[in-house]
Amino acid sequence: MATNIVLAILVTSLATYLSRFLGVITSTKMKETSKIFKWFNCLAYSTLSALLARIIIFPVGALAQADYFIRFIVIFICLMVFLISKKNFVYPTVLSALLLALLNSSF
């Protein structure tokens, strides 16, 4: 089960960063203040937040076996790590997989 959690986090991270990378490549001639740029930014964040909400509230597969309490503990800890690490996404992403595997196996 821990492998499935890590794999799910890696795949979603890859999808997120790939879309951002493609956005950087295609937006070289775009102004950051343009409406289309703001629209794509809103679209990316709304898609990511909807995906995260669905994963946390209505999980499917191996993550469904994790208790809500464990999921919220992991979210809270990873949010604190995100803020402490000056909004770095790598540390909380890796930590979330490790914490879910550790907490889910111990309870």
Find the helix or strand (DSSP H, E) in which 9 lies.
helix 2-26
Cα of 53 vs its chain's centroid, Å: 10
- Among residues 76, 79, 69, 74, the alpha carbon closest in space to that of 102 is found at 74
- Among residues 91, 10, 101, 90, the alpha carbon closest in space to that of 63 is found at 101
Q: How many CB atoms lie within 10 A of CB 81?
A: 17
Give residue limits of the domains in the chain.
2-106
State how far the Cα of 7 lies from the Cα of 61, in Å rounded to an integer.
Answer: 12
The residue among 2 and 8 whose pLDDT is bigger is 8
Instruction: Name the percent of the chain lying above pLDDT 90.
Output: 23
State how far the Cα of 28 lies from the Cα of 60, in Å rounded to an integer.
Answer: 38
For the record, the structure tokens of 71 come out as 């999921």
Q: What pLDDT does 98 receive?
A: 92
Residue 60 reports pLDDT greater than 90: no
Residue 106 reports pLDDT greater than 80: no
For the record, the structure tokens of 13 come out as 């991270």
Q: What pLDDT does 1 receive?
A: 66
Q: What pLDDT does 81 receive?
A: 95
Residue 77 reports pLDDT greater than 90: yes
